[in-house]
Amino acid sequence: MRLSILAAALALAFASPALAQNSPGPPAPLAAAAPADVATPEAIVAALYDVISGDVGVARDWTRFRALFHPTARLMPSGMNREGVGVVRSVTPDEYITRSEPLLVGEGFHEREIARRTERFGRIAHVWTTYESLHSLSDPQPFARGINSIQLFHDGTRWWILSVYWQGETPDAPIPADYLPPAG
């Protein structure tokens, strides 16, 4: 009982408008987002897929990419290490750019959404978006598929990506039918 009282008190304290008004908040993003990119949960997810996708040698618009993310955001790939243990890594958008740009531009990379589920309450939204990855849009088959779990926040003006947490499909972890497009 004492734990539930403490949890309720903490929730109220952190949700307090006075706390929000007196907190300096996170640092401002480096660049403003295009209003169309951040108008809806669907738009911001589409902008994310669009900005990381491109053919071999095509530079990505990293300013646009950064503007989608809340200043406290993280990207978190997960999978299995060589010993078969589940692992997750947390990186900032800038760390993602540093680690991913050579591969994205050097090999070509297109990630496209093939199915989506969105749950929304007030200022928060959780998007489960199933993706497939290709080096070129002319590839007959994707080289990878998986699911992105994307958490979004609306500040009263626009949507922000707080986190992108993903896992690629493997033979031992196929994408469940509920997260794929309807057959037929």
User: Which CATH number goes with the domain that contains 137?
Assistant: 3.10.450.50
The closest of 46, 48, 41, 45 to 62, measured between CA atoms, is: 48
The closest of 59, 40, 58, 37 to 49, measured between CA atoms, is: 37
For residue 11, pLDDT beyond 80: no
Residue 77 included in any domain? yes
Q: Which domain holds residue 35?
A: 31-179
**pLDDT at residue 21, rounded to an integer:** 47
Spatial separation of the C-alpha atoms in residues 37 and 3, rounded to whole Å: 41
Interacting residues of 16 by C-beta distance below 8 A, sequence separation 6+: none
Q: Residues 108-133: what's their mean pLDDT?
A: 98
163 within 8 A of 75, measured Cβ to Cβ: yes
Residue 127 included in any domain? yes
Residue 68 included in any domain? yes
Residue 45 included in any domain? yes
For residue 97, pLDDT beyond 90: yes
Please state the pTM of the whole predicted model: 0.84
Residue 35 included in any domain? yes
Q: 3-state class of 3 per DSSP?
A: helix
Q: Residues 171-182: what's their mean pLDDT?
A: 94
Residue 73 included in any domain? yes
| Confidence tier at 1 by pLDDT (50, 70, 90) | low
Spatial separation of the C-alpha atoms in residues 98 and 76, rounded to whole Å: 15
Residue 184 included in any domain? no
How many structural domains comprise the chain?
1
Provide the β-strand partners of residue 48.
none
| Confidence tier at 98 by pLDDT (50, 70, 90) | very high
Residue 10 included in any domain? no
